[in-house]
Structure 1
Amino acid sequence: MKTLILTTAALALSAGAALAESHAQTVRLGTEGAYPPYNFLNDAGEVDGFEREVGDELCARAELTCEWVTNDWDSIIPNLVSGNYDTILAGMSITDERDEVIDFTQNYYPPAASAYAAPSEDVDLTGGVVSAQATTIQAGHVADSGAALLEFATPDEAVAAVRNGEADAIFADKDFLVPIVEASGGELVFVGDDVPLGGGLGVGLRESDGALRDTLDAAIQSMKDDGSLNELIVKWFGEDAQTFE
């Protein structure tokens, strides 16, 4: 079975090379640049993080010429659809709702836990005020939980709302919250159980870009097969991070 998968991936990668050769245009990779360690801007103002390394490797394996473009989260899907860039690599979970608007590759990061962080373990997660980044699956979960949802354009603003007392807790990807909680010196703690949401992170594309989707899909599969994707996950999220089997 593994041989079949590798053969399929090799054929699709060959198709990707042909795609790149016949279409000289640059593939623009859209990201937020504000969600470490998934993606962020480093001191040089360049896109950095887990998804920068994944995206660069996918482009190298598919022999695609790529460039990075940053865009605010709340308009990241509309600007993909309108053609401002060609893909989204921005910590975006695969969901049925999003899949009705855009297309996705297979996941390049497994379904991961979301979590609540608050100043105290006594916080009321279902009857209080919970902050989240707008238009995320975490915001949708809070809205359905019974808590009062307080949405913000960026995850940092959602964290700040808890620190200044606007919100009782924040709900976000646990991988995003771990370094914030650890660096808070006890000011913030995890509250309640982890919540699994979404189908993992996938590369978002326009529904009309099936050839590019297949090319990137094959590159992702090749990174899973040779273990390099797991290596990047451990590098950016630690030895306890969930990896692909």
Structure 2
Amino acid sequence: MKSLIFTTAALAIVAGSAFAQTVRMGTEGAYPPYNFINDSGEVDGFERELGDELCARAELTCEWVKNDWDSIIPNLVSSNYDTIMAGMSITDERDEVIDFTQDYYPPTESAYVALSEGVDLEGGIVSAQTATIQAGYVAESGATLVEFATPEETIAAVRNGEADAVFADYDYLLPLVEESGGELMFVGEGVPLGGGVGMGLRESDTELRDKFDAAITSMKEDGSLNALLDKWFGEGVGTY
């Protein structure tokens, strides 16, 4: 089992109560802008800011736990933490193993990125992060799938010639394309996948799920969730 790195989040202030339930929030810390590790070694990004606000509204004390993507669901089931906030799309397959809150990021497209136009997306070599819905899609597309443990490795595979293209969340790829100075480009058509991004929990934790669902609903209703989406993903991102 990979070692877990713990960072302490801000305490939710609970009026009239000296203690609040402690919830360990599991994340990958390697998928900006959803989640990443900042220069201070702290979990940062959209999901860190959102998660802290959800915990405050639910009157919970939150601690952030970093875990590798490929073991993130098994370690939730094994109770090494209590939630997953890691850019995880809601799918029927995952829902058979864990439970999900409602989505806090609307359903979006996945996209292909390559070094040049005209690459063969149906019969060529396409990289994707292991255990993702994108990897599953490529495996059934006719292309040759090459899987990597981290999203950075999927991009590196394109740059070093191991793969013709990478297939990943559009919102993850967009800043990389913009910052590449024309080296990377979107190719082919976008592909809608998944039912939005939600928080994963153990199936037995129905009370905790309900608390977070109520907090997500309150942020949708008062517009604060849309404000966070605009802040971290830019204007034009899908909102509620």
Q: Does TM-score exceed 0.5, indicating one fold?
A: yes
In the alignment, residue 162 of structure 2 is paired with which amino acid? E
Q: Which residue of 2 aligns with 1:71?
A: 67
TM-score normalized by the length of structure 1:
0.90
Gaps spanning 5+ residues in structure 1: where? 1-16
**Deviation of 1:187 (Å):** 1.0
1:166 to 156, 162, 169: 162
Whether the 8 Å CA contact 2:21–2:60 is kept in 1: the answer is no
**Deviation of 1:235 (Å):** 0.3
| Matched residues, number | 226
1:109 to 105, 110, 115: 105
Aligned with 1:65: secondary structure? strand
Aligned with 2:213: secondary structure? helix
Gaps spanning 5+ residues in structure 2: where? 1-13
In the alignment, residue 240 of structure 1 is paired with which amino acid? G
2:46 to 47, 50, 69: 50
**Deviation of 1:185 (Å):** 1.2
- The percent of aligned pairs where both chains have the same amino acid is 77
CA RMSD of aligned residues (A): 1.4
Q: Counterparts of 1:242 and 1:219 in 2: how far apart (Å)?
A: 20
1:61 aligns with 2:57: yes
**Deviation of 1:29 (Å):** 0.3
Whether the 8 Å CA contact 2:20–2:59 is kept in 1: the answer is no
Q: Higher helix fraction: Structure 1 or Structure 2?
A: 1
Q: Counterparts of 2:19 and 2:205 in 1: how far apart (Å)?
A: 13
**Deviation of 1:23 (Å):** 8.3
In the alignment, residue 195 of structure 1 is paired with which amino acid? V
1:190 to 180, 186, 190: 186
1:238 aligns with 2:230: no
Aligned with 1:124: secondary structure? coil
Q: Counterparts of 1:203 and 1:236 in 2: how far apart (Å)?
A: 18
Residue-by-residue CA offset, 1:187-229 (whole Å, 9 max, x unaligned): 1110011111000001000001000000000000000000000
In the alignment, residue 224 of structure 1 is paired with which amino acid? K
1:94 aligns with 2:87: no
Q: Which runs of 4+ in 1 moved over 6 A?
A: none
Q: Which residue of 1 aligns with 2:199?
A: 203
1:218 to 210, 214, 217: 214
Q: Counterparts of 2:68 and 2:112 in 1: how far apart (Å)?
A: 23
In the alignment, residue 216 of structure 2 is paired with which amino acid? I
Residue-by-residue CA offset, 1:18-58 (whole Å, 9 max, x unaligned): xxx79854100000000000000000000000000110000
Higher mean displacement: 22-31 or 53-62: 22-31
In the alignment, residue 40 of structure 2 is paired with which amino acid? A
Q: Counterparts of 2:192 and 2:145 in 1: how far apart (Å)?
A: 19
Whether the 8 Å CA contact 2:125–2:165 is kept in 1: the answer is yes
**Deviation of 1:83 (Å):** 0.4
Q: Which residue of 1 aligns with 2:9?
A: none
TM-score normalized by the length of structure 2:
0.92
Q: Counterparts of 2:225 and 2:116 in 1: how far apart (Å)?
A: 36
In the alignment, residue 239 of structure 1 is paired with which amino acid? E
In the alignment, residue 37 of structure 1 is paired with which amino acid? P
In the alignment, residue 86 of structure 1 is paired with which amino acid? D
Q: Counterparts of 1:163 and 1:149 in 2: how far apart (Å)?
A: 16
Aligned with 2:60: secondary structure? coil
Q: Counterparts of 2:165 and 2:197 in 1: how far apart (Å)?
A: 24
In the alignment, residue 102 of structure 2 is paired with which amino acid? Q
Q: Give the 5 Å matches for 1:114-193.
A: 114-193=110-189
